[in-house]
């Protein structure tokens, strides 16, 4: 077995806005099929970090190496998505007027099909892929409903299913539990743990109950760099973390 490099390696990334450092020499490594939770106070740089990884923001300094060979800081957003990096924003964007299964069908990799394709016959392989994805995101029973009729939590899962249809190697997820019921929150933690068996997931999250449910390594950002990293118990006992984040 050849040694596989770290999936994502942010090395000394600095992002300045008019001299203000939103990221300040941030270094962070994410492994293949690792799930990582990113926490930290507002303004810590969490969103800016995601923006750098997806090519939305170009850092002033540093590099972001993907699979040991692609420097994301020199690629545009489309090229980065093509490499296998998917991002889920807080607000789900699904096609409300289409059924749950058609939303997933439209998202399938290799066939960014026109809407007219919805009326054409589906191949057996497409059907199988849609079935598997619906099962994975717990929406099989709702497949023929219009996406607009789903609960907030179900819409989030549908969007996760649509992102999985692109077969990303790394999935970035922004506060998936926001606005969810307790049950949906617990189900979402299960779902993300399941996804992280086969691909890496980075979750930005404020809900500490949810982070505890995820049961993964935690990185706490503060003023654009890593303040503490490790199991939640260790990070949440860190005096500086309590001072700047948890103790408020
Ligand atoms: P978080 O997601 O952790 O709340 P952000 O990454 O959104 O933090 O922001 C980090 C800091 O950078 C904040 O102080 C924010 O005001 C600043 N910032 C983010 N984007 C911009 C921008 N486009 N222009 C100027 N300042 C920005």
> Which ligand 1 atom sits closest to the C-alpha of 23?
10
- Encoding tokens for residue 202? 């980075």
Per-residue pLDDT, averaged over 5-13, amounts to: 95
In this predicted structure, what is the pLDDT of residue 194? 95
Say whether 120 sits in a helix, a strand or coil: coil
Residue-wise pLDDT for 130-177, tens only, equals: 999 999 999 999 999 999 999 999 999 999 999 999 999 999 999 998
Ligand 1 center to residue 1 CA distance, Å?
41
Using a 6 Å CB cutoff, which residues line ligand 1?
A: 17, 22, 40, 42-48
Q: Which sign, positive or negative, has the C-alpha torsion 228, 230, 234, 236?
A: positive
> Interface pTM (ipTM) of the complex?
0.96
Please name the residue whose Cα sits nearest to atom 16 of ligand 1: 43
What's the pTM? Answer: 0.92
Ligand 1 pocket test, pick from 41, 47, 204 with the greatest ligand atom count within 8 Å of Cβ, gives 47
Residue-wise pLDDT for 89-102, tens only, equals: 888 889 999 999 99
> Which ligand 1 atom sits closest to the C-alpha of 221?
3
In this predicted structure, what is the pLDDT of residue 102? 93
- Given strand 85-88, what is the order of strands in its sheet? 85-88, 170-174, 200-204, 35-39, 217-222, 225-230
> Which ligand 1 atom sits closest to the C-alpha of 18?
25
Per-residue pLDDT, averaged over 75-102, amounts to: 93
Ligand 1 pocket test, pick from 38, 41, 48 with the greatest ligand atom count within 8 Å of Cβ, gives 48
């Amino acid at each position: 077995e050849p040694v596989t490099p770290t999936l994502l390696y942010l090395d000394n990334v600095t992002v300045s806005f008019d001299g203000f450092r939103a990221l300040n020499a941030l270094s962070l490594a994410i492994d293949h099929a690792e799930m990582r939770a990113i926490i930290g106070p507002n303004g810590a740089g969490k969103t800016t970090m995601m923006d750098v990884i997806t090519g939305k923001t170009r850092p002033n300094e540093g590099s972001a190496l993907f699979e040991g060979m692609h420097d994301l800081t020199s690629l545009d957003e489309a090229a980065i998505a093509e490499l296998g990096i998917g991002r889920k924003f807080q607000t789900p964007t699904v096609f409300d007027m289409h059924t749950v299964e058609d939303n997933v069908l439209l998202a399938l990799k290799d066939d960014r099909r026109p809407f007219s394709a919805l009326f054409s016959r589906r191949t057996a392989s497409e059907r199988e892929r849609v079935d598997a994805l619906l099962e994975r995101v717990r929406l099989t029973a709702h497949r023929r409903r219009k996406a607009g009729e789903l609960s907030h939590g179900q819409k989030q899962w549908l969007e996760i299913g649509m992102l999985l249809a692109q077969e990303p190697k790394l999935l970035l997820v922004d506060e998936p539990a926001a606005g969810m019921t307790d049950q949906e929150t617990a189900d979402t933690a299960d779902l993300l743990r399941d996804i992280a068996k086969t691909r890496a997931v980075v979750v930005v999250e404020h809900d500490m109950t949810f982070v505890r449910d995820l049961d993964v390594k935690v990185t706490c950002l503060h003023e654009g760099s890593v303040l503490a990293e490790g199991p939640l118990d260790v990070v949440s006992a860190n005096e500086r973390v309590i001072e700047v984040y948890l103790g408020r």
